[in-house]
Amino acid sequence: MRIPSVLAVLALSAGPLTVSPGVSAAAATLPAGVRSFESVNQPGSYVRHQESLGRLTPVTAGSSQQTKLDATFTVVNGLASPSCYSLQTRNGLFLRHRDWRLRVDANTGDSAFRADATFCPQDGSVAGSLSLSSYNYPARRIRHRDSGLWLDTYQDSPNFRADSSFRLKSPWAPKVNKGPVVPGLFADPHLTSFNGRYYLYPTTDGYASWSGTYYKAFSSTDLVNWTDHGVILDHGPDVSWADNSAWAPAVAAKNGSYYLYFSGGLARGDTSKHIGVAVADSPTGPFRDALGRPLIRSGQYTGQAIDPMVFTDDDGQSYLYWGQGAARVVPLNPDMVSFDPARVRVITPPGYNEAAFVLKRNDIYYFMWSENDTRSEDYRVAYATGPTPLGPWTKRGIVLQKRLGAGIKGPGHHSVVRAPGTDTWHIAYHRFAIPAGNGTNREVAIDRMEFNADGTIRPVVPTP
């Protein structure tokens, strides 16, 4: 697989169509979100899929709803690289090339599919247009020919440049669902707030066996509009002891520094997972491995060493929770990167699988976790309450579970944030991506989480 050369970043603007082959576009980005792609030299014709093949056909206001859906794509994080993009269809498939034809297929998560489904923006033939080169065959671009879409070798000719140039347009079939909160495949969201701004740290999903390698950060003031801050830690270059399984990040602030706790493993040889900690001066990184070795090694304790989470109590003491199969907690030392092993406690409640999360409200501590397997539609969130961050814990019930009538399967691995200065709480979680996801193709959603007068948590009704 070859890595594309430095990307030309395009500034896309709406406006009257002027076809001037050979004129370079001004600089801009390919914004994530729901879009339609109009041909530069066949105005009124749009990129779409039909019987699984990529095509270019006219679309008008009078076209069928199916045609409009087929001509609408969500620009998402590149399945093979965060430097490029993938185009997801409204029925959850991905535009990819095979035998040099463009077609749509479900993401298998293997590296070949992810590369075939990743495209990088290049200057289009006219101002305000773009061209998409292949991630794994950078000399080839998406181009229309005989009403079909092909991945053809770039030719520096006016005809080729025009055939391979498209304008980003408002979507023919706008999004109707609220979710996902950030476009694309992400999971295990850690939603928190620092200095009055929300930050979201998810696992990058869409990889077979969850073999992703990097974390991105997003931030927002309203939980609706999110800024993508790019990659904040990449196991490959940044972590000597891990090169895959970049799972379940959690970020905590202390003394002006930000600590990112994460799980990681090695693709070759040792397949076990370890927990590490990285540090940065800003919530959006860049983070650097704080220890140069795991904070918790595989096998050091029973259960899988994954899914770290830090809760800091009102007195400033931080606690580290972690584990799959068994839940543990230990007070962190003030340096946030060490602890006294003699103080580690097992706190596994009945039904616990993974994804421990702790919050405090009105002097009650809430210990929350995920039950069942993330590949199961029955993956769900349960909780207990207790008088201290260490328990003892009394299980109270299920907070969040599948809602098949709304197409919601496997909601879990959550986090909870309080709107700063209020008693309004939000729960972030992942679920099978709607409509075509599964346990390795997940998306992030956020819903309100409310408390009863007695302090128990009302079951969350997840919204699509």
In the complex, least distance from residue 100 CB atom to ligand FUB, rounded to whole angstroms: 34
Question: 92 or 249, CB closer to ligand FUB?
Answer: 249
Provide the minimum distance between the beta carbon of 220 and ligand FUB in the complex, in angstroms, as a whole number.
22
Separation of alpha carbons 248 and 240, rounded Å = 18
Residue 200 sits in the site that holds ligand FUB (CB under 6 A):
no
Strands 119-123 and 166-169: what pairing? unpaired
Q: Name which of residues 368 to 387 contact ligand FUB (CB under 6 A).
A: 374
Kindly tell me which residue out of 203, 213, 219, 441 binds ligand FUB, with binding defined by CB under 6 A.
203
Residue 56 or 306: which CB sits closer to ligand FUB? 306
Count H helices and E strands in the chain, helices first: 4, 31
Rounded to whole angstroms, what are the CA distances from 387 to 72, 213, 363, 384, 390? 51, 38, 7, 11, 8
Q: How far is the CB of 305 from ligand FUB (least distance, A)?
A: 11
Tokens of 394: 């009394």
Considering the complex, state which of residue 128 and residue 462 has its C-beta at the smaller distance from ligand FUB.
462
Contact by Cβ (8 Å): 429, 180: no
Could you say which of 38, 116, 163, 354 contacts ligand FUB (CB under 6 A)?
A: 354
Asked if residue 39 binds ligand FUB (CB under 6 A), the reply is no
- Cα gap 281→259, rounded to integer Å: 9
Q: Judged by CB under 6 A, does residue 355 bind ligand FUB?
A: yes
Contact pick of 70, 238, 307, 447 for ligand FUB (by CB under 6 A): 307
Residues making up the chain, counted from first to last = 464
Residues assigned a catalytic role: 188, 354
Tokens matching residue 32: 């994530």
Distance CA 85, CA 222 (A): 25
- Phi/psi for 404 (5° steps) reads -60, -35
247 makes contact with ligand FUB (CB under 6 A): yes
Q: Looking at 68, 161, 413, 414, which residue binds ligand FUB (CB under 6 A)?
A: 413
- Residue 306 contacts ligand FUB per CB under 6 A: yes
C-alpha to C-alpha distance for 419 and 399, rounded to whole angstroms: 19
Beta strands in 63-100 (DSSP E): 73-77, 85-89, 94-98
Number of residues that bind ligand FUB (CB under 6 A): 13
Decide if residue 248 touches ligand FUB (CB under 6 A): yes
Provide, rounded to whole angstroms, the least separation between the CB of residue 214 and ligand FUB.
13
Distance CA 30, CA 126 (A): 15
Q: Name the minimum Å distance from CB 304 to ligand FUB.
A: 8
Give least dist CB 324 to ligand FUB, A: 7
Indicate the residue among 151 and 275 with the shorter CB distance to ligand FUB.
Answer: 275
- For the chain, the distance separating the N- and C-terminal CA atoms, rounded to the nearest angstrom, is 36
Answer yes or no whether residue 309 interacts with ligand FUB by CB under 6 A.
Answer: no
Burial of 134 (0-12, 13-18, 19+ CB in 10 A): buried
Nearer to ligand FUB, 203 or 219 (CB): 203
Q: Looking only at residues 310 through 349 of this chain, which bind ligand FUB when binding is defined by CB under 6 A?
A: none
Positions 51 through 90 that interact with ligand FUB (CB under 6 A): none
Q: What share of the chain is helix, strand, coil (3-state, %, to 5)?
A: 5, 45, 50
**Which of positions 418-447 make contact with ligand FUB (CB under 6 A)?**
none
Q: Residue 228 or residue 354: which is nearer to ligand FUB going by CB?
A: 354
Among 172, 199, 210, 218, contact with ligand FUB (rule: CB under 6 A): 210
* Minimal distance, residue 233 CB to ligand FUB, in Å: 15
Residue 415 interacts with ligand FUB (CB under 6 A): yes or no? no
Instruction: Kindly state whether residue 187 participates in binding ligand FUB, applying the rule CB under 6 A.
Output: yes
Q: Which position among 188, 371, 443, 447 is part of the footprint of ligand FUB (CB under 6 A)? A: 188
d(CA 55, CA 144): 7
Q: Which is nearer to ligand FUB, 38 or 354 (CB)?
A: 354
Cα dist from 18 to 30, 59, 180, 354, whole Å: 20, 20, 35, 56
Separation CA 175–CA 88 (nearest Å)? 12
- Residues 361 and 366: their CA atoms lie apart, in Å, by 8
Q: How far is the CB of 95 from ligand FUB (least distance, A)?
A: 25
> What does the binding site for ligand FUB look like in residue numbers (CB under 6 A)?
187-188, 203, 210, 247-248, 263, 306-307, 354-355, 374, 413
